[in-house]
């Protein structure tokens, strides 16, 4: 066994200090101490490595610190060896299936995990990109919801996702898994101060929309207005506000309580996703998906 990029012998001792170190990335304190988080499974690790190689070629931050894989996994996915050979900064180790299980948070890590550096980014850096679509998650608690919304935001082409302080840690392994690799696709700000976030993004010209089941504005009406502006003439401005095609920050609230009154007070408008059935409310992930896609569509239709 002498694979390019793979050093030393196969790790088989599940009690080794290194194994425990990786396993500790499942805890908030473990991540805080090392500044790393865990990507599990081929798809997530592939996205991490792709970003790592991209950044290496563009003077960006390193992404992957180390890669742990079973021989069986590398036989099945030869691209990891190719990627590892190109990424000189990444330590790579062959491990037994038992060691991989001990390292991973999932029951079935599918043969590969990577330790990744929690990226250094800031709201100011995001603001400097003239963002057109940003999702701000206010105290969302469920890691699966957080990850799913991040994935939906990435699919909608959002420029960044912001988690306010009091939110679940998006670098928690369950949340990372729910992003299915999307966490490597856009800037993510964690532990953000809500007031500072809004002030900074408003200063960039963004309209702030609060997703609120009791909002006065109906998202479907806003979508129709936006389509009508495009169909008639962009210059023949219709004056209804908000305009979905404007640079937009969406606020989404906690699963149980929604947005706090103080948070909604900072928004320019409160927008409701219409409920056509007998249900009382929407899952925050469902509401976020509908809102972000509505903005994405309006921006692409009216601003190209």
Provide the binding-site residues for its own copies, judged by CB under 8 A.
43, 144, 148, 151-158, 178, 180-182, 185-186, 220, 223-224, 227-228, 231, 273-283, 285-286, 289-290, 293, 296-297, 300-301
Q: Cα–Cα distance between 96 and 33 in angstroms, integer?
A: 26
Hey, what are 97's tokens?
Answer: 């299936």
The distance of closest approach from Cβ of residue 115 to its own copies in the complex, given in angstroms and rounded to an integer, is 22
Minimum CB–partner distance for residue 229 and its own copies (Å): 11
Minimum distance, C-beta of residue 273 to its own copies, in the bound complex (Å): 8
Report d(CA 4, CA 6) in Å as an integer.
Answer: 6
Whichever of 143 and 198 has its CB closer to its own copies, that residue is 143
> What are the C-alpha distances in Å from 249 to residues 127, 158, 201, 225, 246?
11, 10, 8, 19, 10
The kind and range of the H/E element at 188 are strand 188-192
Secondary structure (3-state) at 54: helix
Q: Residue 249 Cβ, how far from its own copies at the closest point, in Å?
A: 17
Q: Which is nearer to its own copies, 3 or 43 (CB)?
A: 43
Closest to its own copies by CB, 57 vs 277, is: 277
Q: How far is the CB of 293 from its own copies (least distance, A)?
A: 5
Residue recorded with tokens 């009406």: 221
Query: What is the distance, to the nearest Å, from the Cα of residue 165 to the centroid of all Cα atoms in its chain?
Result: 16
70 or 178: CB nearest its own copies = 178
CB distance 163 to 191 below 8 Å: yes
In the complex, minimum distance from the CB of residue 154 to its own copies, in angstroms, rounded to a whole number: 4
Distance, in Å, from the CA atom of 1 to the CA atom of 286, rounded to the nearest integer, reads: 48
Q: With contact defined as beta carbons under 8 Å apart, do 193 and 139 qualify?
A: no
The enclosing H or E element of 76 equals: helix 71-76
CA 48 to chain centre: 13
- Whose Cβ is closer to its own copies: residue 225's or residue 263's? 225
The smaller minimum CB distance to its own copies, of residues 191 and 257, is found at 257
Closer CB to its own copies, residue 117 or residue 186?
A: 186
Q: What minimum distance in Å lies between the beta carbon of 47 and its own copies?
A: 8
Q: How far is Cα 83 from Cα 174, in angstroms, rounded to an integer? A: 25
Q: How far is the CB of 296 from its own copies (least distance, A)?
A: 5
Pairing of strands 112-117, 36-40: antiparallel
Taking the C-alpha atoms of residue 70 and residue 72, their distance in angstroms, rounded to an integer, is: 5
139/151 with CB nearer its own copies: 151
């Amino acid at each position: 066994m002498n694979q390019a990029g793979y050093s030393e012998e196969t790790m088989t001792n599940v009690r080794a200090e290194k194994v425990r170190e990786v396993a500790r990335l499942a805890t908030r304190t473990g991540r805080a101490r090392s500044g790393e988080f865990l990507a599990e499974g081929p798809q997530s690790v592939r996205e991490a490595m792709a970003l790592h190689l991209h950044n290496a070629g563009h003077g960006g931050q390193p992404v992957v610190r180390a890669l742990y894989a079973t021989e069986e996994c590398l036989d099945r996915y030869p691209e990891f060896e190719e990627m590892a050979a190109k990424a000189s900064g990444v330590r790579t180790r062959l491990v037994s299936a038992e060691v991989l299980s001990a390292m991973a948070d999932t029951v079935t890590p599918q043969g590969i995990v990577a330790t990744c550096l929690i990226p250094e980014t800031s709201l100011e850096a995001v603001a400097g990109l003239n963002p057109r679509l940003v999702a701000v998650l206010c105290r969302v608690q469920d890691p699966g919801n957080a990850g799913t919304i991040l994935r939906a935001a990435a699919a909608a082409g959002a420029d960044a996702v912001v988690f306010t302080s009091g939110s679940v840690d998006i670098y928690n392994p369950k949340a990372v898994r729910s992003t299915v690799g999307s966490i490597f696709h856009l800037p993510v700000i964690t532990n953000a101060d809500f007031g500072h976030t809004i002030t900074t993004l408003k200063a960039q010209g963004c309209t702030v929309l609060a997703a609120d089941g009791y909002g006065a504005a109906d998202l479907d009406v806003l979508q129709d207005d936006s389509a009508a502006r495009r169909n008639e003439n962009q210059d023949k401005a219709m004056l209804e506000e908000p305009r979905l095609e404007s640079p937009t920050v969406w606020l989404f609230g906690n699963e149980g309580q929604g947005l706090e009154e103080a948070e909604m007070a900072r928004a320019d408008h409160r927008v409701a996703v219409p409920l056509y059935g007998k249900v009382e409310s929407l899952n925050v992930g469902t509401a976020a998906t509908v809102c972000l896609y509505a903005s994405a569509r309006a921006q692409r239709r009216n601003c190209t």
